[in-house]
DNA sequence: TGCAACTGATTGCAAAATGCAATCGGATTG
DNA sequence: CAATCCGATTGCATTTTGCAATCAGTTGCA
């Protein structure tokens, strides 16, 4: 754990945690993409992180208390990375960040559909999603009634729909 | 303007704008600290930015449309930097970031009092603050009734109060 | 008029972070 | 037993950052 801080300002300290080009990207992929393994994070993100940087960031985020690591029972070499409560509470920030980016930056339609859905869902959806993440990553009991479609499921479905529509209009 | 993006994801594009160690610090000092001049930004921030980095970031943030620069009529060498609407709409993100940092990171009392006030004020206060910033930086007409204490004024007063109390308890 | 202080930078250089490709030893699969 | 997959590690070039010194023009003041 790094104990030398530039200042005790909350915004500065937050930046010291994820004010770099990769940390928040990884957390995004774990939160919204459901990625839990090294290889998933390595090959799964569109931005293309290098494996040494990925190693370093996973280690760093663990030291900072944002992630934990556990053995995957199905494979003696596989490790499962889990979000901590600290990381899960970034969901509203992610949602705001996505919403801001959608307004001001040249986002692509496919990749911003998730942000749009989070924006439309509002704080209630965020809470449901965080509850879901606590269930997946912390083993917490889920408060949502059984049969309710998961938030990530909805996000993925929306993404697939856009991709399908785009492919269709391209061949038409 | 950099036109080569890693991806069209809103979160990634947002990170490309302020996903470094200084951009958001500068915007924080302009928004919450009311700094408008090079020297104010250089000497005013606790974290201590170097002048070459400051030059680079100001230029970069202007190219990205977050800041504008104008001559100061009172001094032929002075430049006044202004926030654009794009930057002003970061206020809610700053507030969330501050709130998250206050919960999870070793913030100092003096430097987190502003974040606490923003948190307690909620979206209504943020709106009032953004209105105030539009007035200061964009010359927009203020919607707040005359005589109402400005949000930054409140933030500064709260900060001073904490500092004074701390000094008092130190000498006691 | 002269001079110190201040304006927004620029320069040079060392250190750190990043990007990229190849590779590692062990585990698993077919 | 060979191919593939696992989470890394290594070496090296490029880029970014940190730090201090310096710059030329402007201003305030004696």
Q: Please spell the DSSP secondary structure of B10-57, one letter per residue.
A: HHHHHHHHH-SSSHHHHHHHHHTT---SHHHHHHH-TT---HHHHHHH
Q: Is residue A101 part of a domain?
A: yes
CB B16 within 8 A of CB B5: yes
Q: How far apart are CA B160 and CA A16, in angstroms?
A: 26
- Across B110-153, the runs of DSSP E, i.e. the strands, are none
pLDDT, residue B1, reads 43
Same domain (yes/no): B74, B103: no
Domain limits at A151? 89-171
Q: Give the residue-averaged pLDDT of A53-72.
A: 97
pLDDT, residue B2, reads 47
pLDDT, residue A133, reads 98
Which residues on adjacent β-strands are paired with residue A97? none
Q: How far apart are CA A100 and CA A89, in angstroms?
A: 18
Same domain (yes/no): A36, A97: no
Q: Give the model's confidence band at A3: pLDDT under 50 very low, under 70 low, under 90 confident, else very high.
A: low
Considering only CB atoms, which residues of chain B are within 8 Å of chain A? 5-15, 17, 19-21, 24-25, 28, 46-48, 65, 86, 89-90, 92-94, 96-108, 110-112, 115
Same domain (yes/no): B131, B142: yes
Query: Residue A7 and residue B99: Cβ atoms within 8 Å?
Result: no
What percentage of residues in chain A have a pLDDT greater than 70? Answer: 98
Please identify, among B21, B53, B87, the residue that sits at the C-terminal boundary of a domain. Answer: B87
pLDDT, residue A65, reads 97
Q: Give the residue-averaged pLDDT of A27-46.
A: 96
Please identify, among B87, B116, B144, the residue that sits at the C-terminal boundary of a domain. Answer: B87
pLDDT, residue A145, reads 87
Same domain (yes/no): B78, B96: no
Residue–nucleotide distance: A142 CA to D9 C1' (Å): 40
**Residues contacting residue B81 through CB under 8 Å, at least 6 positions apart:** B30, B36, B37, B38, B41, B58, B67, B68, B69
Chain C: positions less than 7 Å from a protein CB are: 6-12, 17-23, 25-29
Higher pLDDT residue, A45 or A66?
A66
pLDDT averages per 10-residue partition of chain B, 172 residues:
81 97 98 97 94 98 98 94 98 98 97 97 98 97 89 96 92 77
Of B14, B65, B107, the CB nearest to A101: B14
pLDDT, residue A2, reads 47
Same domain (yes/no): B81, B100: no
CB B79 within 8 A of CB B72: yes
pLDDT, residue A146, reads 86
Domain count, chain B: 2
Q: Give the residue-averaged pLDDT of A26-48.
A: 96
pLDDT, residue B131, reads 97
Instruction: Check pLDDT > 70 for residue A42.
Output: yes
pLDDT, residue A1, reads 44
Same domain (yes/no): B17, B80: yes
As a whole number, the mean pLDDT across chain B is 95
Q: Give the residue-averaged pLDDT of A72-77.
A: 92
Crossing angle of helices B91-104/B23-31, nearest 10°? Answer: 110
For the stretch B66-107, pLDDT in tens is 999 999 999 999 999 999 999 999 999 999 999 999 999 999
Q: Is residue B65 part of a domain?
A: yes
Please identify, among A44, A69, A84, the residue that sits at the C-terminal boundary of a domain. Answer: A84
Q: Give the residue-averaged pLDDT of A103-110.
A: 97
Same domain (yes/no): A29, A73: yes
Of A62-66, A168-172, B4-8, least confident by mean pLDDT is A168-172
Instruction: Check pLDDT > 90 for residue A39.
Output: yes
Closest-CA residue of A relative to B90 is: A100
As a whole number, the mean pLDDT across chain A is 95
Q: How far apart are CA A127 and CA B55, in angstroms?
A: 41
Instruction: Check pLDDT > 90 for residue A6.
Output: yes
């Amino acid at each position: 754990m790094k104990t030398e801080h530039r200042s005790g300002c909350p915004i500065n300290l937050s930046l010291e945690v994820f004010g770099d080009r990769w940390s928040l990207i990884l957390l995004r992929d774990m939160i919204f993409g459901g990625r839990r393994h090294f290889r998933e994070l390595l090959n799964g993100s569109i931005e293309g992180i290098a494996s040494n940087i990925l190693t370093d960031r996973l280690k760093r985020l663990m030291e900072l208390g944002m992630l934990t690591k556990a053995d995957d029972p199905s494979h003696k070499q596989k490790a499962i990375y889990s979000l901590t409560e600290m990381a899960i509470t970034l969901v509203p920030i992610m949602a705001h960040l996505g919403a801001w980016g959608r307004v001001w930056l040249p986002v692509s339609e496919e990749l911003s559909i998730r942000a749009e859905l989070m924006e439309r869902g509002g704080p209630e959806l965020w809470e449901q999603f965080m509850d879901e993440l606590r269930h997946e990553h912390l083993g917490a009991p889920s408060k949502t009634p059984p049969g309710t479609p998961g938030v990530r499921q909805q996000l993925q479905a929306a993404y697939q729909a856009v991709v399908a529509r785009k492919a269709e209009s391209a061949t038409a």
